[in-house]
Amino acid sequence: MISADGSRLFSYKDISMEFSILQTGIMIFLARVCDVSLGTVRTIATVQGRSVLAFFLGLFEVLIWITIVSAVVLHIKESPILGVFYAFGYATGNVVGIIVERKLAFGLMVLRVITSDTGQKMADRLRNKGLAVTVFTGEGMNGPVTELYTAVRRKDLPWILSLVKEEDSNAFYITEQARDVSKSLKPIATTCNDGWSLLKK
């Protein structure tokens, strides 16, 4: 383009170069989101002892990472903005990885529920859903209490806790990750709250 005094403001070549840099930046951002997300899920899979899944996630993670780094290293001097795309992709990938892992809900959880009023009724409802529940009696601050102990699939935890709160809105519960479980029963019926649950089925 030519200005009124005849000087050149910018050329189509400049526009093409900037568009190319933008495209590269977006590709770096998206690829970084993918590889960091895979890394987050891989770390959790490793902690849970899912060696096969961790192997393949690590393989794809490193392949994507090498591709991104090579692109950034080659062009970072002439296009420092690519470093910004790289950093934003990394930060976003951490958030996306956490969201994906929560949706997948790998592993088993130990659930302990302490209630003072509806222990047996709550245990019966959970058992009717196919869960193995062990009941203990104890002494709380305000008198006798009942403790329910069970191992459940992490993806089933939301609807199980919803059932617990239906029986006793004041029930105290604790959840913790179960690394190794000799036996876990699959519920007879689960509640699908969203499209993701339907997709997994």
Tokens of 98: 């956490």
Domain extent at residue 25: 12-104
pTM for the whole thing? 0.58
Q: Mind listing the pLDDT tens digit for each residue in 90-140?
A: 999 999 988 888 787 777 888 999 998 888 899 999 999 888 899 999 888
Same domain, 87 and 139: no
Last residue of a domain, one of 54, 73, 104: 104
Same domain, 44 and 125: no
Same domain, 75 and 90: yes
Number of domains in the chain: 2
Q: Mind listing the pLDDT tens digit for each residue in 45-85?
A: 887 778 888 899 899 998 888 888 887 777 777 778 888 88
